[in-house]
């Protein structure tokens, strides 16, 4: 090959390479449909409006299909809530805590308060069709608390087993929420919550991830994958520096890695806003919904 022919061939090659990305894109296999669906939910206080009807109209106007009330709110305003949900494309996603006492209380009075109030909320949660009731085993500030040792772990699993079986009878679940170390030294990682679900040996014991607390994780993807659809029942979302609407903290509000895990595993439960506002809620809330939709597409 002489010098002239060499350049001609090289240029043809370069042209082929330049055309390649579009050819490769058209040959790339479509992403498998795992059954994953983006279902956005708002906590009761996030939805703008005074009455349930106004709040739910607001959710529907943004394509939000889940509503997350507190446990106390559910029990005390059950009829209003159930009536407001009638005929809407909106369901109760999960119930956020609201019980008294805590499961690892060392004081029998506090433990009894937990057992009674939690079971009442679980019953109402089943009745209204919630995926579950969110709970934390013990906040760091709660005293007196059982020591963090093997005996307590076994006790926690036994207690959760009983509670989980009760939840199954009620048609719902209990959902363990890992928090950050300042708020809950007992449970910080999604994988640790998933292991408790496994060891509790009840279909009624599930766990969740909260992107705000998940700053403690080394990987959003690995954390959510460690629970998988077997245990992962709910997600909370917020901006990642100030716990406001996704997007309000700029570039750090990236959920793509976590969303990729949810899409690959076939997650079809809810992603619920648990956050405050920095900017004007009328502007920043719809923008946050759009950001979530766009990052879900991207994942």
Stretch that binds Mg ion, among 28-36, 108-116, 226-234, 270-278 (CB under 5 A): 270-278
What Cα–Cα distance (Å) separates residue 118 from each residue in 4, 95, 125, 188, 260?
A: 83, 11, 10, 22, 33
Stretch that binds Mg ion, among 46-54, 107-115, 220-228, 233-241 (CB under 5 A): 233-241
Stretch that binds Mg ion, among 6-14, 73-81, 254-262, 268-276 (CB under 5 A): 268-276
Stretch that binds Mg ion, among 16-24, 199-207, 218-226, 231-239 (CB under 5 A): 231-239
Shorter beta-carbon distance to Mg ion: residue 115 or 210: 210
Is residue 214 within 8 A of residue 278, CB to CB? The reply is no
Quote the least distance from Cβ 174 to Mg ion, whole Å: 15
Encode 91-124: b = buried (16+ Cβ within 10 Å), e = exposed: bbbbbbbbbebbbbbeeeebbebbbebbbbbbbb
Site membership for Mg ion, residue 46 (CB under 5 A): no
Site membership for Mg ion, residue 217 (CB under 5 A): no
Binding mask 187-216 for Mg ion (x = CB under 5 A): -----------------------x------
Quote the least distance from Cβ 52 to Mg ion, whole Å: 22
Quote the least distance from Cβ 212 to Mg ion, whole Å: 7
Q: Which ranges of the chain would DSSP assign to H, the alpha helix?
A: 3-27, 52-61, 71-76, 78-85, 108-128, 150-169, 190-200, 220-231, 256-265, 281-298
Q: What's the start-to-end Cα distance of the chain, in Å?
A: 47
Shorter beta-carbon distance to Mg ion: residue 97 or 168: 97
Site membership for Mg ion, residue 234 (CB under 5 A): no
Shorter beta-carbon distance to Mg ion: residue 188 or 236: 236
* Interface residue with Mg ion, options 274, 284, 289, 295 (CB under 5 A): 274
Asked whether the CA dihedral 238, 243, 246, 252 is positive or negative, the reply is negative
Query: Which of 60, 22, 59 has its CA nearest to residue 42?
Result: 59
Question: Which residue has tokens 């939690």?
Answer: 118
Quote the least distance from Cβ 275 to Mg ion, whole Å: 9
Report the C-alpha gap between 91 and 274 in whole angstroms. 17
Chain length of the chain: 299
* Interface residue with Mg ion, options 188, 236, 260, 263 (CB under 5 A): 236
Positions that interact with Mg ion (CB under 5 A): 210, 236, 274
């Amino acid at each position: 090959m002489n010098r002239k022919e060499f350049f001609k061939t090289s240029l043809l090659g370069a042209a082929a390479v330049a055309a390649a990305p579009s050819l490769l894109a058209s040959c790339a296999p479509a992403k498998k449909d795992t059954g994953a669906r983006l279902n956005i939910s708002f906590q009761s206080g996030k939805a703008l409006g005074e009455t349930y009807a106004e709040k739910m109209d607001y959710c529907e106007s943004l394509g939000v299909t889940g509503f997350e009330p507190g446990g106390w709110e559910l029990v005390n305003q059950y009829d209003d809530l159930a009536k407001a949900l009638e005929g809407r494309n909106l369901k109760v996603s999960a119930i956020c805590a609201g019980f008294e006492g805590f499961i690892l209380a060392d004081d029998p009075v506090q433990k009894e308060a937990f057992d009674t109030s939690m079971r009442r909320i679980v019953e109402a949660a089943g009745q209204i069709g919630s995926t579950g009731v969110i709970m934390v085993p013990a906040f760091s500030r709660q005293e007196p608390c059982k020591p963090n040792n093997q005996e307590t772990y076994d006790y926690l699993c036994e207690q959760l087993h009983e509670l989980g079986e009760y939840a199954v009878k009620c048609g719902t679940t209990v959902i363990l929420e890992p928090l950050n170390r300042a708020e809950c030294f007992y449970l910080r990682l999604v994988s640790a919550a998933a292991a408790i679900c496994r060891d509790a040996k009840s279909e009624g014991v599930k766990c969740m991830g909260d992107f705000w607390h998940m700053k403690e994780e080394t990987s959003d993807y690995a954390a959510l994958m460690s629970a998988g659809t077997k245990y992962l029942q709910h997600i909370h979302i917020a901006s990642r520096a100030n716990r406001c609407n996704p997007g309000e903290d700029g570039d750090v509000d990236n959920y793509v890695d976590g969303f990729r895990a949810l899409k690959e595993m076939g997650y079809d439960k809810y992603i619920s806003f648990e956050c405050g506002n920095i900017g004007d809620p009328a502007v920043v809330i719809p923008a946050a919904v759009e950001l979530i939709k766009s990052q879900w597409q991207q994942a």
